[in-house]
Amino acid sequence: MNQNIAHRLEQYTIKRPNQVLIVKVVIDEQPDEIAIFKGFSSSLMRPTAFDPDIPVLPETAIIIGVDLLASPYNPETPIYIQQGLTWEQMQSLLTETGL
């Protein structure tokens, strides 16, 4: 994955502030889930660096799937808009959004 993809996902949530992305990825052979909301990314499974220049989604990350949820995100009672999107399906949404 390149930083352009991470940036596109963050920009998507700026354009759609009523949505939260939960991106399921594999980073260095370890599973992770990244929440992206209003242009910010945060790992749900490992510490997130305070420095915004350190990417939460590194270039080596492999996207497994993406869930779209209504904001605000509540992990106890998530409201799914779409679940289990493939990277190809998410790319279509990004393109539709002009990203």
Which pair of tokens denotes residue 45? 């499974």
Write down the pLDDT at residue 48: 84
Residue 42: strand pairing partners? 35
| The predicted structure's pLDDT at residue 59 | 81
pLDDT tens sequence across 63-90: 999 999 999 999 899 999 999 999 999 9
Rounded to the nearest 10 degrees, what angle do helices 3-15 and 87-96 cross at?
Answer: 60
Question: With bands split at pLDDT 50, 70 and 90, how would you rate the model's confidence at 3?
Answer: low
